Structure 1
Amino acid sequence: MRTCRRALTVLALALPLSALGAAPVVDNNSGSGSSSYPPAGYGTSGAYAGGGVTAPASAQGQLFMQLQQMQDEIARLRGVVEVQQNDIQRMKQEALERYQELDKRIASGASGAAAPATNNSQPAGGAIDAGGTPSAPAAQQAPAAGTEPPDPAKEKLYYEAAFDLIKAKDFDKASQAFTAFLRKYPNSSYAGNAQYWLGEVNLAKGDLQGAGQAFAKVSQQYPKHAKVPDSLYKLADVERRLGHTDKVKGILQQVVAQYPGTSAAQLAQRDLQRL
């Protein structure tokens, strides 16, 4: 019996030693990737271990950065929208001012076209009333090629019809009517006025290029016309709206120097002080 117990004891002591002998030996100097410490995947969850995927903490950081970028982009877009809204509001205000100014000019010129027709493009031409209609006769020029011969009655009706389109605020048709009138009757007593009102109509439409060309032609083609100071002042306003600030000062100075005492000169002097 004692012999059996001794044999069991020896066997029990020998088992752990055999187990240890079977355990693999790790050589830290082998250079193998599998022998690194800590082992691959240590300290990571099963969903991220060994898969090359960013750990949860890094994913949260990326999400935070994306959110920050989105907030920055939203702030930038808000700034763009605010600028556009300000531009729209400014254009609406400018359009309203143009309409209001045009209404005043129409009101002052509504009774204009009843006077006898004269050639206001001539230096000896008569004065122009508030509506831009000549009030004293002058000699007519010979019609140019492609134009109709002078017909004061027809010219008067044509001019009044175009002016009525302005009062009706049908600016597209008014622009077409004045353009056609000037093509048919370039030497008419109403031509200088038609040229000026063509500029006003184009300005009311927002056609700055067309308005500038029309206003410039008043002084170029009808240099003695009473509308020249007003047309030059309006031309300066158009150049300002187009951003041609280098031209504005010269035009305003021309109005003040050449047409003193006119309302256009007073407005030009005021604008020069603001520049």
Structure 2
Amino acid sequence: MKRAVLITAMFFGAGAAVAAPAPVEDLAGGSGDDRLARLERIVKSRQQSEIDMQRRLDTLQQEVLDLRGLTEQQNYQIEQMQQRQRQLYDEIANLSSKATATPAASVPATPAAVAATANAAASSLSETASYESAVNLVLKERKYDDAIPAFRAFIKQYPDSVYAANANYWLGQLLFNKSEFAEAKQVFNTVVTRFSDSNKRGDSLVKLGMIAEKTGDKAGATQYYQQVVKDYANSAAARIAQQQLAAIKA
């Protein structure tokens, strides 16, 4: 009996020894060339996944840069607009006080002179109200499509206004947001060439660079950004231009 059990155990042990290599052969999965081919496919697949991930990261980074730039530009523009409004109201107050003052040594103002002063003050108030109305369509009411004709009407009626550069910039930004790049480019060029002393010139050059990028002209975009960095060093516009240059070179 013990001998039969021993023979049986030896038989199963020999069978296991013969069968053991089979799973190893299945795991190896073929010849060396086959294994190498499978390894190459795995490596290529991983490389393609990394490339796709990098592209998505680049796209997200560009969107963040655009949003950051727009925020800085809007904050700066609001600050400048508020400052100019305070100056304008002070000027109007001074005009009104001069019109009503009648020093003893001076010649009394004629009705025509008083009327001209009043008309100038009224015109300034109307100009300011018209500009504020257009800006409020953007900042308060979020009616961007309505703001476009409002700024166009303001620019047509007050082409030499102290707000003309800002109005053109607002119009260009609204057109840019709608991807109407040809019209936006014309408007930003107006700020750059006609209002060379405006604090919106640097921002307009940045926008011209972004338009060049979006229309496939990276060389032109680089020139615009470099001009901003050169002409407006240490400004918010220059920081945005440097970020855009870095994104182009990446």
TM-score range, shorter chain: 0.5 to 0.7
Q: Distance in 1 between matches of 2:67 and 2:128?
A: 25
**Residues 107-162 of structure 1 deviation map (CA, whole Å, 9 limit, x = unaligned):** 554463432349xxxxxxxxxxxxxxxxxxxxxxxxxxxxxx99321110010000
**Residues 65-109 of structure 1 deviation map (CA, whole Å, 9 limit, x = unaligned):** xxxxxxxxxxxxxxxxxxxxx99xx79x95x98677646644554
Which residue number corresponds to residue 225 of structure 1? 198
Counterpart of 2:219 (choices 228, 240, 246) is 246
Quickly say closer, same or farther: Cα 1:270–1:106, change in 2 above 3 A: closer
Tell me the CA shift for residue 228 of structure 1: 0.6
Q: Distance in 2 between matches of 1:110 and 1:257?
A: 25
TM-score using structure 1 length:
0.50
Q: Which residues in structure 2 correspond to 1:78-93 (within 5 Å)? A: none
Tell me the CA shift for residue 200 of structure 1: 1.1
Counterpart of 1:187 (choices 160, 175, 178) is 160
* Contact kept in structure 1, 2:188 and 2:205, CA below 8 Å: yes
Quickly say closer, same or farther: Cα 1:116–1:154, change in 2 above 3 A: farther
> What 5-or-longer segments of structure 1 have no aligned partner?
1-85, 119-148
Which residue number corresponds to residue 182 of structure 2? 209
Which residue number corresponds to residue 166 of structure 1? 138
Which residue number corresponds to residue 256 of structure 1? 229
Q: Which residues in structure 2 correspond to 1:1-275 (within 5 Å)? A: 102=70, 105-106=73-74, 109-110=77-78, 112-113=81-82, 114-117=85-88, 151-167=123-139, 168-274=141-247, 275=249
* Contact kept in structure 2, 1:117 and 1:189, CA below 8 Å: no
Q: Distance in 2 between matches of 1:242 and 1:115?
A: 40
Which residue number corresponds to residue 130 of structure 1? none
Q: Distance in 1 between matches of 2:175 and 2:214?
A: 13
* Contact kept in structure 1, 2:209 and 2:224, CA below 8 Å: yes
Tell me the CA shift for residue 253 of structure 1: 1.3
Letter in 2 for 1:262: S
Larger radius of gyration: 1
Quickly say closer, same or farther: Cα 1:230–1:164, change in 2 above 3 A: same
Q: Distance in 1 between matches of 2:71 and 2:230?
A: 29
Q: Distance in 2 between matches of 1:268 and 1:101?
A: 9
Quickly say closer, same or farther: Cα 1:101–1:204, change in 2 above 3 A: farther
Quickly say closer, same or farther: Cα 1:117–1:243, change in 2 above 3 A: farther
Quickly say closer, same or farther: Cα 1:221–1:180, change in 2 above 3 A: same
TM-score using structure 2 length:
0.54
Letter in 1 for 2:125: A
Q: Distance in 2 between matches of 1:267 and 1:100?
A: 8
Q: How many residues align?
A: 157
Moved more, 262-271 or 101-110: 101-110
RMSD over aligned CA atoms reads 3.2
Moved over 2 A (4+): 96-118, 269-275
**Residues 23-78 of structure 1 deviation map (CA, whole Å, 9 limit, x = unaligned):** xxxxxxxxxxxxxxxxxxxxxxxxxxxxxxxxxxxxxxxxxxxxxxxxxxxxxxxx
More helix by share: 2
Q: Distance in 1 between matches of 2:168 and 2:127?
A: 14
Q: Distance in 1 between matches of 2:193 and 2:73?
A: 22
Percent identity of equivalent pairs: 30
* Contact kept in structure 1, 2:73 and 2:203, CA below 8 Å: no
Tell me the CA shift for residue 163 of structure 1: 0.2
Q: Distance in 2 between matches of 1:207 and 1:265?
A: 24
Quickly say closer, same or farther: Cα 1:225–1:109, change in 2 above 3 A: closer
SS at match of 2:87: coil
